[in-house]
Chains A and B, each alone.
Chain A
Amino acid sequence: MSETNTGAPAPRPIHPSRRAALAGGAAIAGLAALPRTTRAATVTLPFDNGERPLVPAGTFPQKGEMILQRTRPPLLETPFAVFGDHLYTPNDLAFVRWHLGDVPTSVDPATYRLRIGGAVKRPYELTLEELVRGFPHRRLAAVNQCAGNSRGLIEPRVPGAQWGNGAMFNAIWTGVPLRALLARAGLSPKATHVAFRSLESGGIFPPDAQFEKALPLRRANDGVTMVAFRMNGAYLPLLNGYPLRLVVPGWFSTYWMKMLTEIEVLEHPSTDFWMAKAYRIPDRQDGGMRPGETGVKMVPIGPMRPRSFFTGIANGARVPTTAALTLRGFGFGGDAALRAIDISTDAGASWRPATLGPDHGPYGFREWHAVTRFPKAGDYRLMVRARNAAGRMQPMRAVWNPGGYLYNPVEHVDVVAG
């Protein structure tokens, strides 16, 4: 596969906009003047105990208005309407997820190093400048989605971050293919996996706590997995992993190591907590099991599955009987390109294809639209369903597993015609 690519559109130049300037100004005034008694804005996600604070722009550094799931370590959800406004999620609205109590709050590029070692012939390290100037770059669009995105919608409920659908974002990533970094080091013939570590280490109490993830060598070395230093053309916000983030297109965000500092080639799978105990799913085709079922073999989560969404229309919306209505939204294919989007206006009894928007490559969001008519007054359940190039289609019902992972059933919206 070519190291250049991509099909992704060129990022537009950045211009200060009046709207952004005003928003920034308002945020400052808000922080300075907000009286303690002011009732904060909230959103209510569609599940029990779903009310969440909507924190103003600037509350978290380099972040816009976000849904607050947890203050420390930060979990910030992207408000869903953002996806209707932007095919590429603005950096300041990209969701945020950290694991350990002691979140790094400072990055010094003068001392930052990326180390490549382990089962290699020539271990080495790079400054940021050496990384950027010493290797070919690749640019591609890819969705970063939390393994537990939409966990709040899973029944029966499970503990963890109670996300709505906003623990995901779409961006154009620029970076160096991991394959090029590994090639310079020279892989041991016994290499099987590649582990990743970061500045997110040394939790508050256990001195050896660290956040480690590992990929099978074939995935790490596929030429698509990359060490990214730009997101939508800009350096990453610190909370999204400045200055370097691993990008694993098509796989869940848990592997997209933020503030990446160490790449260690292994001759065995990782035994770290985050691989051996956490982020695991049933070793079954659908990744699901029955609540309370025992003796299920669990394996590390990996590839994403297809998802699709409506934008710009909400439950209870009134739609006309006298004129055509264009339904819109977006979808993505997961670990294979999006192949088709189908919509239904009769609760899934019949389906017809939607029209797909421009193809920006296999790993990012893709728009769809469908001109629809509602000839008779009454209630309609609209559904949207994605299918990917590997033949995987969104199921009608969510799978269940104890981690609350892999949620991707067909979405629906109930509207009233007339």
Chain B
Amino acid sequence: MIRPLPLLLGAAIGLVACAAAARAAAPADTAAGFATRTVDLPSPGAMFSGSGAETLNRDCTMCHSAGFIDRQPPLPAATWRAEVTKMKAIFGAPYAEADIPAIVDALVARQQAAK
């Protein structure tokens, strides 16, 4: 059964009570009740271990966590190459053009190792 609009409060509870995760809000209410809000973001699963970890931690995890790569479906090398190239061309990943084949190899090998 669908209940309309319950439990809006989890957010507030999490914010107020859960200082560990959400260093919340000096209660300095200002405009129209808007409060200053500052949060900390956690990092579960952020780094690689195992196959290719050295390469992938160096070249990938500065922008995004490792788990996202490990949750991809099996992808062909050409698809990985397109993704790694995009990360450099569009998002400015600081590896050299010449490093791309090694990163792609590490990704393909990691997916094979996970099978």
On chain B, the residues within 8 Å of A71 by CB distance are 41-46, 65, 67-68
Q: Does A59 contact B (CB under 8 A)?
A: yes
Is A277 close to B, CB under 8 A? yes
Interface of B is mostly: loop
Residue of B nearest to A239 (CB): B39
* Chain A 87-124 interface 0/1 with B at a Cβ cutoff of 8 Å (1 = within): 11011110000001101011111101000000000000
Looking across the interface, which residue of chain B has its beta carbon closest to that of A234?
B8
Enumerate A343-388 residues with CB–CB distance to B below 8 Å. 357, 367
Tell me which residues from 28 to 44 in chain A have a Cβ below 8 Å from any Cβ of chain B.
28, 31-32
Interchain CB contact under 8 A, A311 and B2: yes
Which positions 44-73 of chain B face chain A at CB distance < 8 Å? 44-46, 62-65, 67-68, 71-73
Given contacts A20-B13, A73-B64, A243-B34, contact A28 B18 (CB under 8 A): yes
Q: For A73, give the chain B residue with the smallest CB separation.
A: B64
In the bound complex, CA of A206 to CA of B24 (Å): 30
Closest-CB distance, B97 to chain A (whole angstroms): 15
A91 near B11: Cβ-Cβ < 8 Å: yes
Q: Which of A128-136, A250-258, A314-322 contacts B (4 or more CB under 8 A)?
A: A128-136
- Among A49-57, A187-195, A407-415, the one that faces the other chain is A49-57
Q: In the complex, are the beta carbons of B20 and A31 less than 8 A apart?
A: yes
CB distance from B39 to the nearest CB of A (A): 4
Report the Cα distance A51→B42, complex, angstroms.
20
Those of B1-55 within 8 Å (CB) of chain A: 1-15, 17-18, 20-22, 24, 30-46
- Contact partners of A17 in chain B: CB under 8 A: 7, 9
Q: Pick from B22, B62, B71, B93: contact of A58, CB below 8 A.
A: B22
Contact partner of A157 (CB less than 8 A), chosen from B14, B37, B73, is B73
Of listed B6, B11, B17, B46, residue having the most chain A CB within 10 A: B11
Question: Does A237 sit at the interface, judged by CB under 8 A?
Answer: yes
Residue of B nearest to A151 (CB): B73
CA distance A60 to B40 in the complex (A): 8
Q: Count CB-based A-B contacts (< 8 Å).
A: 240
Known: A72-B41, A243-B34. 9 other contacts (CB 8 A): A52-B71, A58-B18, A69-B68, A88-B4, A110-B31, A159-B72, A159-B79, A232-B8, A311-B2
Residue of A nearest to B94 (CB): A205
**Which residue in chain B gives the minimum CB-CB distance to A129?**
B31
> In the complex, how many angstroms separate the beta carbon of A158 from the nearest chain B beta carbon?
8
Of B4, B33, B43, most A-chain CB atoms within 10 Å: B4
Q: Contact at A109–B36, with CB atoms within 8 Å?
A: yes
Interface string of A240-281 (1 = CB under 8 A from B): 001100000000000000000000000000000100010000
What CA separation (Å) do A32 and B32 show in the bound complex? Answer: 35
Closest 4 CB pairs of A and B: A205-B92, A206-B92, A61-B22, A129-B31
Q: How many residues of B contact A (CB 8 A)?
A: 56
B-side residues, CB < 8 A to A, are 1-15, 17-18, 20-22, 24, 30-46, 62-65, 67-68, 71-75, 79, 83, 90-94
Neighbour of A62 across the interface among B15, B42, B74, CB < 8 A = B15
**A232/B5 in contact, CB under 8 A:** yes
Chosen A-B contacts, 18 in total, with CB atoms closer than 8 Å, are A17-B7, A24-B10, A27-B14, A31-B21, A61-B21, A61-B22, A71-B65, A71-B67, A72-B65, A74-B41, A84-B2, A90-B10, A128-B34, A133-B32, A157-B74, A229-B32, A234-B11, A277-B90
Q: In the complex the two chains form, is B18's CB within 8 Å of A24's CB?
A: yes
Given known contacts A85-B3, A91-B10, is B37 in contact with A242 (CB within 8 Å)?
A: yes
Rounded to whole Å, the gap between the CB of B14 and the closest CB of chain A is 5
Measured in the bound complex, the distance between the Cα atoms of B3 and A84 in whole Å is: 8
Residue numbers in A under 8 Å from B5 (CB-CB)? 9, 11-12, 86-88, 172, 232
The smallest C-beta distance from A402 to any residue of chain B, in angstroms, reads: 10
